[in-house]
Amino acid sequence: MVTGGCGFIGSNFIRYILQHYKPASVTNVDALTYAGNLANLDGVVEEHGERYAFFEADIANAGQMETLLHEEQFYAIINFAAESHVDRSINSPQNFIHTNVVGTSVLLNAARRHNLQRFIQVSTDEVYGSLGETGKFTEESPLHPNSPYSASKAGADLLALAFHHTFGQDVIVTRCSNNYGPYQFPEKLIPLMIIKALHDQPLPVYGDGLNVRDWIHVEDHCAALVAVLFKGKAGQVYNFGGDGEMVNLDVVRLILDKLGKPHSLISFVTDRLGHDRRYAIDSSFAKRELDWRPLHTAKEGIAATVDWYLNHRVWWETLLQRTERFD
């Protein structure tokens, strides 16, 4: 069972695991809020038939989750379902608490009652807070979330680990750096900059643009999660990064260069409230324990992502029209 499977990472994961590992079935549970898009999974039913099923539901609705887990026999839950945009969490933190904390609690309880063998809580490096100019986050780094979004994810992580320690439930928490790739919602940095550049519009860059992020291609993240599903140790946290630290300004310039657009389109705007300066992930534990490593370099992967958006204009143009009602 994959929750949030109509979102960016969840939909990529469903495609990845059905194609590469051919499980007996994958059930996608999604509430289809603003970032949930059924078009992210176009062609999956045609390709995989009855091995894929969709169930529209809110993970925070205990009755719906009970019904689903009573009717189906799942090996594992992989919880991608989350409100995930920092700016939106600043404007509406309550929505993030509902999905990210309450929803995770409901899922954990349901999984425990129905004896699922594994629960994977998909989280973020943002729970660690901000780094200085040196160092990287490890699985032992203290949590120091600085936004309502990251605080809600940190709370969900701790709750998941508490279910392992209290009830002996097979729970694993994964924390990943910034994902990019196909089907990413257009409000995120890379697709936002691609789309604005294609329209010759100003590209808004927060502050001085020198915030640093570690970028990982979504396919590398999916491969990491499959490794956790089959090889991970209960009660463990695993960090995944792309070994791709880049200054935000350099990411934007890379996109402009790929599209043949001038750097003069860059427009510096007032910095985000509580904007973390730098994230960097140490993936050495996951590489050693899971025999996993990222295959995409940031520069090559971002260039390929630009090509994907160029070749899928109908997908993002339709999505932008549809989501106007949510803004």
Nearest partner of 266 among 193, 173, 212, 214, judged by Cα = 193
Residue 59 and residue 70 in contact, taking contact as beta carbons nearer than 8 Å: no
Please answer whether residues 213 and 277 qualify as being in contact, where contact means their C-beta atoms are separated by less than 8 angstroms.
Answer: no
> Looking at the domain 2-185+216-246+278-301, which fold is it?
Rossmann fold (3.40.50)
In Å, the largest CA–CA distance within the chain is 57
- The radius of gyration computed from the CA coordinates of the chain, to the nearest angstrom, equals 19
User: Which residue type, as a one-letter code, is found at position 101?
Assistant: V
Q: Tokens standing for 325?
A: 């009602």
Nearest Cα residue to 178 out of 281, 287, 79: 281
Cα-based distances in Å from 166 to 78, 104, 119, 170: 20, 16, 15, 11
278 secondary structure, DSSP code: B
List alpha helices for 92-217, DSSP H: 93-96, 104-113, 148-167, 189-198
Q: Positive or negative, the Cα torsion across 280, 89, 188, 1?
A: positive
Q: pLDDT tens digits, the chain, 327 residues: what are they?
A: 999 999 999 999 999 999 999 889 999 999 998 778 999 999 999 999 999 999 999 999 999 999 999 999 999 999 998 876 666 766 666 778 888 999 999 999 999 999 999 999 999 999 999 898 889 999 999 999 988 889 999 999 999 999 999 999 999 999 999 999 999 998 889 999 999 999 999 999 999 999 999 999 999 999 999 999 999 999 999 999 999 899 999 999 999 999 999 999 999 999 888 788 898 999 999 999 999 999 999 999 999 999 999 999 999 999 888 765 444
**What is the b/e burial string over 150-160, where b = at least 16 CB atoms within 10 angstroms of the residue's CB?**
bbbbbbbbebb
Which residues belong to the active site? Answer: 125-126, 149
Q: Identity (one letter) of the amino acid at 264?
A: S
**Which are the contacts of 319, defined by CB distance < 8 A and separation ≥ 6?**
37, 39, 185, 186
3-state secondary structure of 198: helix
**Residue 201 CB: number of other CB atoms within 10 A?**
11
- Bridge partners, residue 176, by sequence: 124, 240
Helices (H) and strands (E) in the chain, counts: 13, 12
Instruction: List pLDDT tens digits, range 258-273.
Output: 999 999 999 999 988 8
Cα separations in angstroms, 30 against 4, 53, 58, 92: 5, 11, 7, 20
